A and B are shown apart, each in its own frame.
Chain A
Amino acid sequence: MTALAQSADVWGRVLSFDHYGELLVLVRNSLIAGAVLGLVGGLVGTFVLMRDLAFAVHGISELSFAGAAAALLLGANVVGGSVAGALTAAAVIGTMGVAARDRNSLIGVLMPFGLGLGVLFLALYPGRSANKFGLLTGQIVAIDTPRLSWLTGISVFVLVCLAVVWRPLAFASVDPDVAAARGVPVRALSAVFMLVLGLAVAASVQIVGALLVLALICTPAAAALRVTASPVLAPILSVVFAVVSVLGGILLALGAAVPISPYVTTLSFVIYLVCRLIGARRA
């Protein structure tokens, strides 16, 4: 009997819809931020896969976490710290790791260093521990209006950049030799994409946390590419998958006592599995 009660209790902590209406109002900002980040993550993710940068996303998010933790400790703007960390990592990876083999070892070196720094800053930080945990595993109630403005501003900038460079970036990503011969500034575009990626990662860290950014920037795109090779449909599907994962994750996590990340990651993983099955039948 006690085992049953205990298990019911655990489920009550994982899924609970008590006072749902009142809670929903509280997370309005998070829902907006989630939709925007889903849009950004879904689009950036297609290029991350085309350019084979999934591991770089993870490395950048750890440094972004370190930057955010430092900002928290110093009482500075957390989004600003997160952006600074992410851009530093993106710049290092972009300039030093041009060849894929160099890049991966470089990221392998950077990542634990970033994570270690972040842990140090958090350990020194005297404030609430919920803030600390949130940077790693995500948080939904922490999106106040100034932070939402930051996230929206960053996202709009990323979207405008992508709209401008989309076609030459796709060309340079799939066939850099011919693109260069056709006059596409391949190296400059690569730098622009690292900037865009750094910003997208820093923004995503605010919602899903540093450890799980890939669920937003890689998984939805990977799922989309399993079911279509159309250059128009792939980014659209990727965005739909990312938005569904984040918004669904927030709505499911709302009444529960555990962080948001398991919901987002599970949703996006299930979408990926379904797409793999469909893709396997198609091929």
Chain B
Amino acid sequence: MTSVIELRGAALAYGGRRLWSGLDLDVRAGEFLVVLGANGTGKSSLLRVLLGLRKLSAGSVRVGGGPPRRGGGDVGYVPQRLETSPLTPLRARDLVRFGLDGHRFGPRRAGRAVRRRVDAALADVGAAAYADRPVGLLSSGERQRVRVAQALVADPAVLLCDEPLSSLDPGSQATVVGLLDRRRRAAGTAVVLVTHEIEPVLGVADRFLCLSGGRFSAGTADEMLTSAVLSELYGADVEVVRDGGRVAVLGLPRADR
């Protein structure tokens, strides 16, 4: 399997302060990687490096076979939920279309091909019913679905998600994770998802990357989701209970909710 993300000896410093270092990571096409870590540990900065918005202070990074380019088409991005005024003059389909040509300057008309791709992306995430509804009138869950469609409409090789589940209800969280899972299985899109919500990704994530104290550790759910690892990660008394195929994480600090 080819790696769509390759990090070698990667380190990131910010204003003289070292955020993290010594990261070696390969993410394969179609893999679902979940990144865990407390606030301020540098999870979002890792995504910014992969987006080409920040430079590593040491080491090397490749995304889709080359160095990450700002605005490169191989990477889709879904951040935390979108706050918009109810008066925003955009419909769901307009937001999705930004994923295709929102970064292009100059006037341009939407051709038939663009409209078809936008419709297909909306249908893929089950948002066809509200394609023409104003963005400001969508619920948070609906809006996040539309943003997944926006990130996927350009057919990226990698999808980076920065806490896309925060402040969504459990049903919407499961829906969003389900959409990502279906996509990576169907199209081989690698998914890197930063989250504090572990439960929605249990059973879906292939691997977990845990970040604490500037060091990374990575492994499967069985290796990483243990009481010892998570307690250290969050600096709290976390307990992981396994019962047959089901996993429950108890005692997670809930400040982020």
Contacts and interface: CB of A to CB of B under 8 A. Distances in A.
Size category of the binding interface on chain A: 20 to 34
Interface string B123-161: 000000000011111000000000100110000000010
A222 B53 CA distance: 35
Interface in B25-84: 51, 53, 69-72, 75, 77-79, 82, 84
B112 interface: no
B85 A52 contact: yes
Nearest to A226: B87
B89 A231 contact: yes
Which range holds the interface residue count of chain B?
A: 35 or more
A50 interface: yes
Given A167-B101, A184-B103, A229-B91, A178 B147 contact: yes
Contacts of A228: 89
Given A175-B82, A183-B71, A225 B87 contact: yes
Interface stretch (B15-23, B92-100, B192-200, B220-228): B92-100
Given A50-B89, A165-B105, A171-B103, A180 B53 contact: yes
A49 B85 contact: yes
B106 interface: yes
Contact of B84 (A164, A174, A230, A234): A174
Interface of A (DSSP majority class): helix
B104 interface: yes
Nearest to A237: B89
A198 B134 CA distance: 29
B95 A175 contact: yes
B77 A182 contact: yes
B246 interface: no
A214 to B, nearest CB: 16
Given A177-B79, A178-B77, A171 B102 contact: yes
B136 to A, nearest CB: 7
Nearest to A180: B53
B171 interface: no
A182 B89 contact: no
Contacts of B69: 183
A160 to B, nearest CB: 11
Given A50-B85, A52-B85, A175-B95, A182 B90 contact: no
B104 A168 contact: yes
A167 B95 contact: no
A183 B87 contact: no
B90 A170 contact: yes
B98 to A, nearest CB: 5
A113 interface: no
A155 interface: no
A181 interface: yes
Interface in A222-255: 222, 224-226, 228-231, 234-235
Given A46-B89, A222-B87, A181 B105 contact: no
A168 B87 contact: no
Given A164-B105, A168-B105, A222-B87, 19 more contacts: A49-B85, A49-B87, A52-B85, A163-B107, A167-B98, A168-B103, A170-B90, A171-B102, A174-B84, A175-B84, A175-B95, A180-B53, A182-B71, A182-B99, A182-B103, A183-B71, A224-B89, A229-B88, A231-B91
